[in-house]
Chain A
């Protein structure tokens, strides 16, 4: 691992850890409902010690919004990313390992899904499923799995030709056991590298959906904050900039940490 990856990885991990802590203890850090009107609208930051980052045009506490928004963004994107990778692993492993007809069918489906821009597909899905956190997770999962499926498939195709897979066949393992106990673990390493990117993307998609008002309106999320801050952009630009920064920081930290983890793993593999 180069020095740079190490440093950026550390920075990413620290930021990510901080965000996770904030999300976990949101209630303790900023008690109460962040959607509640708590003060005078459009207070500027530092004007009132109770609202360190000021209030929105609806009199909501900006700090509380950011803190609770972290919870929504991180849970939604982590769940969605987990689902993405799970689907990817399942489709990729079956496709790569079984080959032939199954592979053809699965890969055509993958390509069909991939040919539609992920965000548009997610948008369409949410409009059908209705605006709720669950439908956002489902929409992201169903629209973003193709790259991970293709990656897993490529790795599985490589690994399945290795001698140890034959050794397992000679030992009498069943094809499914071989696929998931022998081949898959060997193919997982590049998937780890994908986790960072997938979570980062999920954060962006979630924010964008919330921005468009397609996420749960009863939950304060960063995207929603940007959307509502838009109206007062000229008067109080910070209402857009702060949640925007939060989104950028979250997705950046996840990617950096993910990269470093992947580099670390590949080094372990070589040693």
Chain B
């Protein structure tokens, strides 16, 4: 060590990336400066199209050749501008820079075993003998927390879970002994509990080995909790940059404010009445109405002249009981639902929460008749949803409607938005085509779209507009119940809150019952009146209201809550004792006894043999855990 001064690991200044397209020149990135010190984490956050990924690709020298790049990039105190000299880059990529991508499945070569895959990278970067290479590979694998590295090295990527794949990708990124890790949404595709483990690993590496981590993400919660510094990007520029705490607690730029407001963090501390969540659209202050509405909806005799309450008088109830659904592929059986009971009534929002493979989407599809259970019944107001011949009559059909996850995929591409919204009307009503068109315009207006949108095609609308149109379509037949499958998961954060506001507003006006499938606990906490937590096809816990997450008793629910990063709580200060171990076994191999036991930190011997049943702890709060009766004192 010579001087006391620490040289920045990476100093990027004036980065501009320019594409010449048909319609003129587009600056994807414009004058971006970033500094990163060793042992620190810098997050670049922004919505889709903000240029955050372009910055990352420019740093890695992975931009397509038609991109014109200017600016300077100095690494590790050197003085060669790596942006100006792309040939220097090929040496650098993988040596001083390691790269981790969003989808570990796609970034790993499927025909190589993971051991060979890492060997390959080690061999390219380091002059080692064959034996040394494999030894190095194994040590890399254990560095990223893969136990039993020797046997895992013989596995192919598809045989590994998402979390393990991402660990392998990290090991490969570390193989060239980089000082700087570039990570592009590395945890976005992972389940919450697995995301938590990967974040732990990355932060450990940064701390232990004094690496620099440049973390690109759309999630201000993750960014705020793991970073030292945050740069917020919007339209190709850095609009705000500073210490993580400053950016998340006291955002200055209006875009950061919007991002922070839309993020809907899971609130485990105080219960505060929330008003409209939308930072951009405050016409929709709906939550107060909503509470009122709920109150009035539960009183037996509404005395108001309110038409909303009148509507609610015809109370609808969808009851799923004993739903079991097993998907068979060849000899393998995947259990998507295993004896699930679920009720949705008009005026309430029931959230289905769980990680991938929990069966939440299957249940939603069963609830609307898109899929049929192997056993169990779906009853709508005393009548089976689907008759014995597998048919659903016109009236029933029009009473339950659905909003899908990906709004673009949910619209027929060769049909205009207006025509698409007309389809259910045509089938369910006897309106003339004139009246139908008027109704379409009315519907568009009720979801905040313009008349003009009716004539456009799906690709001409933004994600948020499309999801509004999808809601309009779902409402076309004036349904009593709405099934929403991750309706905001594919939307940008700032749009998300507007769509959620719209849903609650419509619910208030029409007394809709909503079944809301989501993996985003913050969203669920905000919108749900009742929350049902699923794990591998079974209900683990069911609770009421926003306090559900504070009072959660099931170890799985608590691990979900603990894994949820909050922008204002540094990652290391979370109660990590509650974290679940490992990853879900997958719905092909349901563990015996309590299906959560292999991952449960509270498991006792009995858990391996006895399957707990769902029991009521207090009113409206059900838990399926053998130890639910005991006093919990975790965290």
Chain A residues with CB under 8 Å of chain B are: 162-164, 166-173, 182, 185-186, 269, 271
Q: In the complex, how many angstroms separate the beta carbon of A184 from the nearest chain B beta carbon?
A: 10
Bound Cα distance from A167 to B409, whole angstroms: 10
Asked if A271 and B459 make an inter-chain contact with CB atoms under 8 angstroms apart, the answer reads yes
B365, B401, B414, B427: which contacts A186 (Cβ < 8 A)?
Answer: B414
- CB-CB under 8 A for A172 and B412, given A163-B406, A166-B370, A166-B404: no
**Chain B contacts with A in 387-433, Cβ cutoff 8 A:** 392, 394, 397-398, 401-402, 404-406, 409-414, 420, 423-424, 427-428
Q: How many positions in chain B have a CB within 8 Å of any CB in the partner chain?
A: 27
Q: In the complex, how many angstroms separate the beta carbon of A254 from the nearest chain B beta carbon?
A: 25
- A168: chain B residues at CB < 8 Å are 412, 423
- CB-CB under 8 A for A170 and B414, given A162-B409, A163-B409: no
Would you list 30 pairs from A and B whose C-beta atoms are within 8 A, ordered by A residue?
Answer: A162-B409, A163-B405, A163-B406, A163-B410, A164-B409, A164-B410, A166-B365, A166-B370, A166-B402, A166-B404, A167-B404, A167-B412, A167-B420, A167-B470, A167-B473, A169-B370, A170-B370, A170-B397, A170-B401, A170-B424, A171-B423, A171-B427, A171-B473, A172-B397, A172-B424, A172-B427, A173-B423, A186-B412, A186-B414, A271-B459
Bound Cα distance from A163 to B424, whole angstroms: 15
Asked if B414 and A185 make an inter-chain contact with CB atoms under 8 angstroms apart, the answer reads yes
Extra 15 A-B pairs, beta carbons < 8 Å, given A162-B409, A168-B412, A186-B412: A163-B406, A163-B410, A164-B412, A166-B402, A166-B404, A167-B420, A167-B470, A170-B368, A171-B423, A171-B427, A172-B394, A172-B424, A172-B428, A182-B412, A186-B414
- B423: chain A residues at CB < 8 Å are 168, 171, 173
- A169: chain B residues at CB < 8 Å are 370
Bound Cα distance from A185 to B405, whole angstroms: 23
- A173: chain B residues at CB < 8 Å are 423, 427
Q: In the complex, how many angstroms separate the beta carbon of B391 from the nearest chain A beta carbon?
A: 10
Chain B residues with CB under 8 Å of chain A are: 365, 368, 370, 392, 394, 397-398, 401-402, 404-406, 409-414, 420, 423-424, 427-428, 459, 470, 473, 477
Q: Which residue of B lies closest to A269 (CB)?
A: B413
Bound Cα distance from A32 to B406, whole angstroms: 63
- B427: chain A residues at CB < 8 Å are 171-173
**Total A-B residue pairs with C-beta atoms closer than 8 Å?**
57
- A162: chain B residues at CB < 8 Å are 409
Bound Cα distance from A164 to B368, whole angstroms: 15
Bound Cα distance from A163 to B470, whole angstroms: 11
Bound Cα distance from A171 to B411, whole angstroms: 12
Q: In the complex, how many angstroms separate the beta carbon of A88 from the nearest chain B beta carbon?
A: 19
Bound Cα distance from A169 to B423, whole angstroms: 11
- A164: chain B residues at CB < 8 Å are 409-413
Bound Cα distance from A173 to B428, whole angstroms: 10
- Interchain residue pairs A-B with the least CB separation, the first 4: A171-B424, A163-B410, A163-B409, A172-B427
Q: In the complex, how many angstroms separate the beta carbon of A172 from the nearest chain B beta carbon?
A: 4
Bound Cα distance from A173 to B477, whole angstroms: 13
- B473: chain A residues at CB < 8 Å are 167, 171
Bound Cα distance from A271 to B460, whole angstroms: 9
- B406: chain A residues at CB < 8 Å are 163
Bound Cα distance from A169 to B402, whole angstroms: 10
Q: Which residue of A lies closest to B400 (CB)?
A: A170
Bound Cα distance from A185 to B413, whole angstroms: 9
Asked if A186 and B413 make an inter-chain contact with CB atoms under 8 angstroms apart, the answer reads yes
Q: Which residue of B lies closest to A161 (CB)?
A: B409
Most buried by A among B365, B394, B405, B412: B412
- B424: chain A residues at CB < 8 Å are 170-172
Asked if B398 and A163 make an inter-chain contact with CB atoms under 8 angstroms apart, the answer reads no
- A166: chain B residues at CB < 8 Å are 365, 370, 402, 404, 410
Q: Which residue of A lies closest to B485 (CB)?
A: A163
Q: Which residue of A lies closest to B422 (CB)?
A: A171
B394, B404, B420: which contacts A163 (Cβ < 8 A)?
Answer: B404
Bound Cα distance from A186 to B398, whole angstroms: 25
- B401: chain A residues at CB < 8 Å are 170
Q: In the complex, how many angstroms separate the beta carbon of B480 from the nearest chain A beta carbon?
A: 14
- A269: chain B residues at CB < 8 Å are 413
Most buried by B among A168, A170, A182, A186: A170
Bound Cα distance from A173 to B397, whole angstroms: 10
B392, B398, B410, B428: which contacts A167 (Cβ < 8 A)?
Answer: B410
Q: In the complex, how many angstroms separate the beta carbon of A186 from the nearest chain B beta carbon?
A: 6
Q: Which residue of B lies closest to A162 (CB)?
A: B409
Q: In the complex, how many angstroms separate the beta carbon of A194 from the nearest chain B beta carbon?
A: 18
Q: Which residue of A lies closest to B459 (CB)?
A: A271
Q: In the complex, how many angstroms separate the beta carbon of A56 from the nearest chain B beta carbon?
A: 51
- B428: chain A residues at CB < 8 Å are 171-172
Q: Which residue of B lies closest to A185 (CB)?
A: B414
- B409: chain A residues at CB < 8 Å are 162-164
